[in-house]
Amino acid sequence: MFIFVHLGLPAFLLGWFWFMKPKSKVGLLVSLLLSVSVVLFLFFWGQWPFIGGYYLRYVILILSLVIWIIKTFKSIQLLPFIKKSIFNYFKIGLLSLFAGIFVLLNVKVIAGMRIKENAVNIEFPLKSGKYYIALGGSNGVINNHYKAWTRAQQYAIDINKLEGLGTVASGIMTNDKDKHFIFSENVYSPFDGIVIESVNSVLDNETSSMKVKRKDGAGNYLILKNKEVLIHLVHLKYNSLLVVKGDTVKKGDLIAQVGNSGFSQEPHLHFQASIYNKDSILVGIPMRINRRFLVRNDIVNCK
């Protein structure tokens, strides 16, 4: 299903748009709007490095543009404005409904790339490659953490590493932790602070299996504190932590390695900032990392 959504759905829509025989200009333009809105949504929302490469999104977008332009200019001048029939009105209405849904999803995606709240300024916790933000943003459409059961994850991001043609592993959708480029990657402190919690004893999942005890859901992790801000670094590698509770860390200190522990489907670094609000509830706050608010499908190049 994951591969179909990314590749099968746009292929179906582009094939349908190319071979369809529109009855009117309105019908053609509504069909174009549907195709454009779906492809754009997948461009922004899709997790392309997991199914063939980050840059595949651009290939599909460029191919789509060629098809949209050729088909539209080839057909539109030969058509009447609208064909007056009950069936045609129903068809246009149905296509308009689906197109409207995806237009709204695109609006939500774009809105999720912005923040209104003040953000904490910190450094990126990895240093030796090109990194991919798999989840991140200010709403639930592009960031699954935003609607998580705990508000502390609201602005959390998940980080993977890219190599080659923009893939996260040396195999498409592989479950082998050792084939993921980010596994065992060094993790550095994003700010000056003190370690207030640490866990180092949870074994890494060999594959995507998450059959771990609920108490071990975060896997190995560190919580760092600077004034009122808490930073969580989660799913770290078993027995890789170089600091423990009570240690002081400086920005840029090597503190651990990326793992696949806890509720983790593949090796990645879960990274979040939070504070206690006036009701003593831990809530997530947005992060400006190297001056950027990182969202789904962003790239951070540390080479």
Two tokens, residue 186: 């060094």
Q: How far is CA 260 from CA 88, 98, 133, 181, 263, in A?
A: 53, 38, 16, 12, 8
State mean pLDDT over 9-15: 94
Q: Give the pLDDT of residue 209.
A: 67
Instruction: List pLDDT tens digits, range 199-215.
Output: 999 999 987 766 787 88
Whole-number Å distance between alpha carbons of 45 and 43 = 6
Residue 172 has pLDDT above 80, yes or no: no
Domain coordinates of the chain in residue numbers? 2-111, 120-301
Percent of the chain whose predicted confidence (pLDDT) is above 70? 99
State mean pLDDT over 21-37: 94
State mean pLDDT over 118-140: 95
Instruction: List pLDDT tens digits, range 70-85.
Output: 999 999 888 888 888 8
Q: What is the pTM of this model?
A: 0.92
Q: Which CATH number fits domain 120-301: 2.40.170.20, 2.70.70.10, 3.40.640.10, 3.90.1170.50?
A: 2.70.70.10
List own/partner pairs for 66-69 with CB under 8 A and 24 or more apart.
67/14, 67/17, 67/18, 68/17, 68/32, 68/35, 68/36
DSSP state, residue 292: B
Residue 44 has pLDDT above 90, yes or no: yes
Q: Give the pLDDT of residue 269.
A: 97
Q: How confident is the model at residue 165 (pLDDT cuts 50, 70, 90)?
A: confident
Q: For residue 20, which phi and psi values (nearest 5 degrees)?
A: -65, 155
DSSP 161-185: EEBTTTBSBSSTT---GGGBTTTT-
